[in-house]
């Protein structure tokens, strides 16, 4: 298309140049002709002027020379010939048909001349040649007129046009080659755009028409426009995608933050290790559990932060994707950073799609369980011992009864008493165990009634007196007769009270004292058991109500026990919506106080147990 246009321009400009050359030739011919006419006209005038006037103006009835000039009428350029007088009158004349002679003009003094007669007066312009004619009739002039050659229209600017056509003729190929050269990179760009557009249009916008193979600027502009259209469509699409991905990344971020918050709230510590054994995630709980700050752990291999050989050994097994690292594993140890803690650590591989992404490590504080387990073991050993000792004593006194009991009444009485005491002890242990079991099964529910506290305490005091006397301990009761009534399960409350009184006697010294008292204060009734016994350290005081907890005895006197008395007492008080408080000082005795809500005053005649 572009080549066709250039070709057309070249043909048109060639034709123009040919036309102009021909026109120039014509003009040249015309100029030569005009020159010929001039030469001829001037020659003729001079020739005629040299003749005597009588020859040119013959007398009437006789032919003159001018008539013979008329013979030239065959010359198409000849217009007229005349001899004119000074007053403009024509003395003789000949003219081509249809030619009207122009009036004679005064002749210049210099002699021969020529003039162009106004073209409006005749059909064609006439060039007139004149010369003086010697005559006795005055000043005459001989005139001869020739038609001026017809001027070619626009011949004046012919050279200018010719130059322009020539310039165009020369410049068009030059410009063509220059444009072609300059367009080469643009054409390459166009091809590239076309290729991109074609690939994109097949992938993104199949509705776009294929780009033409035009290699000109218009083709390039079309390609560029299409490319820009497709690019802006693509940009819009990408913008939409970007908005969608920004919102989904926000959602993901929100989800991830939420998940992290959930994980951080877990009571257990979490560690995630990559397959190379480096920590990629951890929760803040590992610090109190392992005694290692979080920033020392994150992005670090296990060897740099772990001081516990048990944990290091376990995590080493999970490094890489070995087959034996696929099963879960749990260990327990006392971490070097927090030695009084017992940690249970479970490691398990994180796998999916037959790939191992790393290891999940869960660290749990197992101190309580460990202590409970230990206490349980101690308890079994202790209960066995507690049961075995009375059984041994019973067996021994049984033998004594069998041997000497029949004959010696004193031996018989002693044996029976001892056997009775041991049976009571065993009974108390078994009862405590049964009560604990009932408590934990939830089958021990208090049946609360309004109870006269003074009577309840006096009863318990009476029962404990024998044991206090046996240990040379003074047992006092300080309770007002009109002390406020309380709402309790009498039997259960007696278990709690007995356990406190037994302990006050048991952990006392000979000659010591125990006071059972009750007071009213701020809507509460406080029942207290005060002893002058061995007391206990603050850290033991905080734990004595735990199941199976016993203070480690260091003195010479080893008191038997099973760590259930205070646990039971505390549980029973709580079942009554009360509180058990302990005030104690090592070597200076203890005060155990039961705080119960006071009951509202009774209506007259109400039933009180
Ligand atoms: P136990 O059968 O060992 O007496 P308890 O639960 O009754 O179990 O008591 C728990 C621990 O509390 C005891 O081992 C003892 O060391 C301590 N204790 C309880 N009462 C007293 C007290 N009145 N004075 C000093 N220590 C006491």
Instruction: Supply the residue whose CA is at minimum distance from atom 11 of ligand 1.
Output: 550
Region 489-514 average pLDDT = 94
The pair of three-digit structure tokens given for residue 380, joined into one six-digit string: 């079994």
pLDDT band at 40 (very low <50, low <70, confident <90, very high): confident
Q: Can you give the pLDDT at residue 224? A: 81
Answer whether 550 contacts ligand 1 (Cβ < 6 A). yes
**Distance in Å, CA 550 to ligand 1 centroid:** 6
C-alpha 444/C-alpha 446 separation (Å) is 7
Residues 6+ apart with CB under 8 A from 176: 6
Range name among 159-168, 170-179, 460-469 with the lowest pLDDT average: 159-168
Answer whether 379 contacts ligand 1 (Cβ < 6 A). no
Calculate the average pLDDT of the chain: 83
**Distance in Å, CA 564 to ligand 1 centroid:** 9
Strands 343-352 and 329-333: antiparallel
Q: Can you give the pLDDT at residue 202? A: 61
Most confident of 119-123, 334-338, 373-377, 388-392: 334-338
Please give the number of the atom of ligand 1 that sits closest to the Cα of 545.
6
pLDDT band at 211 (very low <50, low <70, confident <90, very high): very low
Q: Is the pLDDT of residue 154 over 70?
A: no
Q: Can you give the pLDDT at residue 73? A: 54
Give the whole-number percent of the chain exceeding pLDDT 90. Answer: 30
| Residue scoring higher pLDDT (466 or 216) | 466
Q: Can you give the pLDDT at residue 553? A: 77
Answer whether 547 contacts ligand 1 (Cβ < 6 A). no
Range name among 196-210, 330-344, 486-500, 553-567 with the lowest pLDDT average: 196-210
C-alpha 78/C-alpha 36 separation (Å) is 12
Q: Is the pLDDT of residue 552 over 60?
A: yes
Query: Residue 331 in contact with residue 345, Cβ under 8 Å?
Result: yes
pLDDT in tens, 291-310: 999 899 888 888 899 999 99
pLDDT band at 218 (very low <50, low <70, confident <90, very high): confident
pLDDT in tens, 403-420: 876 788 888 888 888 888
C-alpha 148/C-alpha 127 separation (Å) is 6
For a mutational test of ligand 1's pocket, the pick from 378, 509, 541, 544, i.e. the residue with the most ligand atoms closer than 8 A to its C-beta, is: 544
Query: Residue 422 in contact with residue 395, Cβ under 8 Å?
Result: no
Dihedral pair phi/psi, residue 120, rounded to 5°: -70, -25
Q: Can you give the pLDDT at residue 92? A: 83
Task: From residue 493, give the alpha-carbon distance in Å to each of 36, 164, 260, 410, 482.
Answer: 163, 132, 48, 39, 19
Query: Residue 251 in contact with residue 270, Cβ under 8 Å?
Result: no
Region 247-262 average pLDDT = 91
pLDDT band at 323 (very low <50, low <70, confident <90, very high): very low
**Distance in Å, CA 578 to ligand 1 centroid:** 20
Answer whether 533 contacts ligand 1 (Cβ < 6 A). yes
For the full predicted model, state whether its pTM sits above 0.85.
Answer: no
Q: Is the pLDDT of residue 400 over 80?
A: yes
């Amino acid at each position: 298309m572009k080549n066709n246009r250039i070709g057309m321009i070249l043909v048109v400009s060639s034709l123009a140049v040919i036309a102009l050359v021909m026109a120039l030739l014509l003009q040249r011919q015309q100029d030569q002709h005009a020159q010929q006419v001039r030469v001829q006209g001037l020659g003729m005038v001079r020739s005629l002027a040299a003749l005597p006037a009588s020859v040119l103006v013959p007398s009437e009835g006789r032919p003159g020379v001018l008539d013979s000039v008329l013979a030239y009428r065959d010359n198409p350029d000849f217009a007229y010939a005349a001899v004119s007088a000074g007053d403009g009158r024509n003395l003789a004349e000949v003219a081509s048909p249809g030619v009207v002679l122009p009036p004679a003009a005064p002749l210049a003094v210099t002699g021969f001349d020529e003039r162009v007669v106004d073209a409006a007066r005749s059909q064609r312009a006439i060039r007139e040649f004149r010369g003086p004619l010697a005559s006795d009739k005055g000043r005459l002039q001989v005139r001869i007129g020739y038609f001026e050659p017809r001027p070619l229209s626009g011949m004046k600017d012919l050279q200018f046009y010719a130059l322009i056509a020539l310039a165009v003729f020369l410049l068009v190929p030059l410009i063509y080659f220059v444009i072609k050269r300059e367009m080469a990179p643009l054409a390459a760009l166009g091809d590239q755009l076309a290729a991109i557009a074609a690939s994109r249009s097949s992938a993104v916008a199949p509705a776009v028409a294929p780009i033409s193979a035009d290699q000109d600027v218009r083709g390039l502009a079309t390609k560029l426009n299409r490319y820009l259209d497709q690019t802006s469509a693509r940009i819009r699409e990408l913008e939409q995608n970007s908005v969608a991905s920004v919102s989904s990344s926000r959602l993901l971020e929100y989800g991830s933050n939420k998940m992290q918050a959930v994980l951080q709230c877990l009571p257990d510590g979490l560690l995630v290790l990559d397959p190379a054994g480096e920590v990629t995630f951890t929760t803040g709980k590992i610090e109190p559990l392992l005694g290692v700050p979080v920033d020392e752990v994150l992005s670090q291999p296990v060897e740099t932060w772990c001081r516990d050989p048990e944990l290091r050994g376990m995590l080493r097994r999970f490094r890489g994707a070995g087959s034996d690292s696929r099963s879960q594993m749990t260990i327990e140890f006392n971490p070097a950073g927090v030695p009084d803690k017992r940690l249970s650590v479970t490691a398990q591989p994180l796998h999916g799609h037959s790939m191992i992404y790393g290891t999940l490590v869960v660290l749990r504080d197992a101190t309580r369980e460990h202590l409970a387990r230990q206490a349980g073991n101690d308890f079994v050993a202790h209960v066995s011992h507690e049961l075995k000792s009375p059984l041994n004593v019973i067996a021994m006194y049984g033998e004594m009864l069998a041997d000497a009991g029949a004959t010696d009444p004193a031996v018989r009485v002693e044996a029976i008493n001892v056997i009775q005491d041991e049976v009571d002890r065993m009974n108390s242990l078994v009862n405590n165990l049964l009560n604990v079991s009932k408590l934990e099964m939830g089958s021990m529910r208090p049946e609360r009634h309004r109870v006269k506290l003074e009577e309840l305490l006096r009863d318990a005091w009476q029962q404990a007196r024998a044991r206090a006397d046996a240990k040379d301990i003074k047992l006092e009761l300080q309770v007002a007769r009109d002390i406020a009534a309380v709402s309790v399960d009498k039997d259960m409350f007696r278990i709690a009270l007995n356990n406190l009184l037994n302990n006050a006697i048991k952990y006392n010294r000979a000659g010591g004292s125990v006071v059972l008292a009750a007071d009213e204060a701020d809507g509460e009734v406080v029942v207290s058991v005060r002893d002058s016994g061995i007391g206990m350290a603050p850290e033991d005081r905080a734990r004595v109500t735990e199941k199976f907890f016993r203070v480690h005895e260091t003195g010479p006197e080893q008191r038997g026990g099973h760590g259930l008395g205070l646990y039971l007492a505390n549980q029973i008080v709580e079942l009554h919506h009360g509180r058990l408080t302990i005030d104690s000082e090592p070597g200076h005795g203890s005060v155990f106080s039961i705080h119960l809500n006071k009951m509202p005053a009774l209506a007259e005649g109400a039933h009180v147990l």
